[in-house]
Structure 1
Amino acid sequence: MTGMNNPAKSGLQLAIGHASLTGPRERNEDFCGVATPEGQELENKGVIAAVADGIGGHLGGREASEYTVRGLLSDYFATPDTWGVPRAIETVTTALNRWVIAEGSRNAELSGMATTLSVLVLRGRRFYTAHIGDSRIYRQQEGRLQQMTVDHTWEHPELNNVLSRAIGLDPRVLLDFADGELAVNDRFLLVSDGVWGILPDALMAEVLLDHPDPQAAAAALTSLALAQGGHDNATAVVVDVLGLPPASLRDSLESAASLPLPHRLKVGHELDGLIVEEVLHDSRETLLYRVRNPRNSQQLVLKTLQPAMEGDQGAIAALLMEEWRAKRVVSPFFPSTT
């Protein structure tokens, strides 16, 4: 088990386990890895975990999966800190994809090699996933196991095990991205199809609940998949969230940037339980309303962007920055921000 128990209780605290078994196959073409930086790099980049399942060629499957995971875990940390997680991962995987295709064309023993790739990044109080192929990422909360990725396989019954997307299949990499807020006691599971293809989701959830230690959970899942008759390599990475840092400006920006803007409000309209009583200001970019909380009759001022600013990341960031700064001003001469 890899532990990340930051002595400063305010830091991101994780416990990580991983296991990868060859099974009856001649070689293990799966590969998994986790990078757990410290200090400023942890704050800027977060922790990254990945599972890949290689295919093709005499030695190509393992070459593709290992090179892709190792390359991603290394090069991700070399991208600019100003880049968002999706941009960083997409840029790195695009370069890795070119290498896999080029090597497969150049070396006959690696011909046709490709690999799935499922990636989890935990940074601050948020998670990010990137995915291509048919390995999977799950999230377990309060005992419920939720699949977070979609398998990229052909829908035809005779081709349902054939990948429609993977690293090395096409010059253009088309990754699925998702993100969301973390919670303490979240458990994430990254698995190859050698595990989920044998163990139903309900059984995987049961195994995770029966093994609180992430290393024991990863080992149990892979061993059980083979014991249940699995003929493929079996790989699992389990990541437990033990503690979270305080909310940062970046977390606030990223979590709020995807929220929809309200339509233009009129007197009497209600938004989040607040009643609009007057339009105080109507500019090109922003709207200012006087609102009332009907539960306690408290008078408040509500500021939002014009509906036409939907998708304008600069305007959204500026408004959120304004809120972030206002919440940090403590003065009897300055209005409080809720």
Structure 2
Amino acid sequence: MLKSLTPGKLTVDLGQYSSAGRKTINQDFHGAIVPAGAALTVKGIALAIADGISSSPVSHIAAETAVKSFLTDYYCTSDAWTVKTAASRVIDATNSWLSAQNRGLEDRDHAHVTTFSALVLKGRRAHLFHVGDSRIWRLSGRSLEPLTTDHRLAPSHGESYLGRALGLLPSVEIDYRRLDLQPGDVFVLTTDGVHDSVSLRTIAACITSNADLSAAAAAIATSAHEAGSSDNLTIQIVRIEGLPEDDLEPVFDKADSLPPAPLPRVPCEFEGYQLHRQIHASHRSHIFLATEPETGERVALKFTSADMREDENYLRRFAMEEWIARRLSSVHVLKSRQPLKPRRSLYLVTEFVEGETLAQWMADRPQADLRAVRDIIGQIADGLRALHRKEIIHQDLRPENLMIDRSGTVKIIDFGSALVAGLNEAAPGIDRGDILGTVQYAAPEYFVGDHGSEQSDLYSVGVIAYQMLTGRLPYGAAVARTRNRRQQQKLRFSSLREIRPDVPDWVEGAIRKAVHPDPAKRYQVLSEFVYDLSHPNPNMVATDPQSLMDRNPLLFWKCLTVLLSLVTIGLLLKDFG
């Protein structure tokens, strides 16, 4: 019996048993990992069970490979990924390897093929993955509730075969299900040697009457053997003893538990660095230029705002910036640096970017050249793709958060507003639905309470492209005033070409699509938008010209006012005549 009993964290009681039964070899395999520390929070507890097909002499290898690969590789995936993304990619990779071992085999009965079921407990939810006919159950009263469906086909009476299993085909469809957890929930994983021979009531009774889950698992397997099971016997039982609160300590390498560093008075020495001057100050943070004495390399040190040092959510997000940066690898994303010494207070160390913000760049070029706009937008998209591959949404993309160095390389900075899918899954309380970004660049969906998506970041990129070309915003300040879908449907895109007639209509069409109020009607991938900025797309040219009212309401009413004035003057002259 294995227990995880950490106060305030996800805690479980786990029992397992496996036997060859009446067979000479055990073609089943099972395993579980109950990690400690940050891994328990960001990855959770994992159980897996597999049953190799009985006709193959190598199926036990397939079963062992499937379970060991899952339990090892799942914990090596990005902490920023959701359970579904991480586990599915690991299972897909295992299936590809098993399928490759079977390539060229004439006799499929000698193939590396196995069923596979996995249960991942993370935060306050259970995540189920299933292929084949091993099963996952939940204890419900005096019986078991099935949570998976067998992938077994029966073309005729008395004949059946697996329609889905790992190694059977080069690609595999994985059943996925997510459930909310409650203290006391009991989950059971079994192979068919157990559940085909013992009644569900017997299994449930054995679990509820036995405090030792390992003893209960062994007793259930013995019952299956005594009932005449001729197959291998494997069972796992896990009971939820406690659930975590909505916090993430100590996920951020304990940085979020440190007191905020005091603002230094430069020039000075600070924790091994020589600080020279302040290069940025705002209500949210202060950034200083510093050097490492031994190497002379310049770095940037970021300190918390004095006004927000009592805000726990702000401090947690401040620490999260470094956590995110360390998990990204792109020339277009600001790099984090390891502090020279063990930190005594909360501050961040990053590479120093010698250059200017995009806001400064735009101030010098009120209506930028289209070629320069394409280059910068393309680099922003490259940086965003690095975030999105890790399931991270920036949520505060704006000219002030984009740096351009002396060589013209664009870098995305400041991840304090980011939405990390994996962390949000572990502790939903970290994202409370607040609009964390800057309202001029925030996508309309934020203002009706929706979470951000890749299309939300795309919207911000589109607004930046529009502003670089025109110096204005596509909807002015109207987006921030909307509070429901109906109001957003009335938003009117201000024609870019009325300000910049030299810009092709298909470029305007691409930007118009990127900033559509409905995220479903925007580009679904950044690369399409970047491509359409440089390649004429006839679909981006409006076939039905918009009315003047739609394109420029102010000009419409001005013209209408002039027309009515002329009509009025004409009528007056007629009367006097």
Q: TM-score, normalised by structure 1?
A: 0.72
Give the corresponding residue for 1:247: 246
Which of 77, 80, 83 pairs up with 1:82? 80
- Deviation readout 1:239-277 (Å, 9 max, x if unpaired): 0111111135534389x99xxxxxx9xxxxxxxxxxxxx
Aligned-partner residue type, residue 2 of structure 2: T
Structure with more relative contact order (C-alpha pairs < 8 Å, separation 6 or more):
1
Q: Which amino acid aligns with 1:243?
A: G
- Tell me the equivalent position of 1:163: 162
Report matched runs for 1:61-210 at 5 Å: 61-105=59-103, 111-158=110-157, 161-210=160-209
Q: For the Cα contact (< 8 Å) 2:151–2:164, is it kept in 1?
A: yes
Tell me by how many angstroms 1:86 deviates: 1.2
- Checking the alignment, whether the CA contact within 8 Å between 1:57 and 1:113 is kept in structure 2 is no
Deviation at 1:309, TM superposition (A): 7.0
Secondary structure at the counterpart of residue 3 of structure 1: strand
Code of the residue aligned with 2:209 in structure 1: it is D
Q: CA deviation at 1:180?
A: 1.4
Equivalent in the alignment of 1:327 = none
| Number of corresponding residues | 272
Q: String of CA shifts for 1:257-311, please: whole Å, max 9, x gaps.
A: 9xxxxxx9xxxxxxxxxxxxxxx96445989xxxxxxxxxxxxxxxxxxxx779x
Gaps of 5+ in 1: 258-263, 265-279, 288-307, 313-338
Q: 1:130 touches 1:178 (CA, 8 Å); kept in 2? A: yes
Matches within 5 A, 1:1-338: 1-6=1-6, 9-55=7-53, 58-105=56-103, 111-158=110-157, 161-248=160-247, 249-250=424-425, 251-252=427-428, 282-284=483-485
Q: What 5-or-longer segments of structure 2 have no aligned partner?
A: 248-423, 434-447, 449-480, 489-517, 523-577
Contact 1:52 1:116 in 2 (8 A): yes
Give the 3-state SS of the residue equivalent to 1:194 in structure 2: helix
Whether the 8 Å contact between 1:103 and 1:110 is mirrored in structure 2 is no
Residues 229, 72 of structure 1: alpha-carbon distance in 2 compared, 3 angstrom cutoff: same
Query: What are the superposed Cα offsets for residues 134-186 of structure 1, whole Å, 9 maximum, x if unpaired?
Result: 00001114545211000110043446641110001111111100011111111
Separation (CA, whole Å) in 2 of partners of 1:129 and 1:285: 38
Deviations 1:46-87 (A, max 9, x none): 000011000166531100000110011000011111111111
Partner residue in 1 for 2:329: none
What is residue 396 of structure 2 aligned with on the other side? Answer: none
Q: Distance in 2 between matches of 1:80 and 1:191?
A: 29
Match of 2:357 in 1: none
Structure number with higher strand proportion: 1
| Structure with the largest fraction of helix | 2
Could you tell me how far apart the structure 2 residues matched to 1:142 and 1:109 are?
A: 42
Cα gap change, 1:173/1:109 in structure 2, threshold over 3 Å: closer, same or farther? closer
TM-score of the aligned structures, taking structure 2 as reference length: 0.43
Corresponding residue SS for 2:103? helix
**% of aligned pairs identical?**
33
Residues in 2 aligned to 1:113 and 1:246: alpha-carbon distance in whole angstroms: 42
Deviation at 1:217, TM superposition (A): 1.4
1:89 maps to a residue whose letter is A
Counterpart amino acid of residue 96 in structure 1: T
What CA distance in whole angstroms lies between the structure 2 residues aligned with 1:90 and 1:120? 12
Let me know the Cα RMSD of the aligned residues.
Answer: 3.3
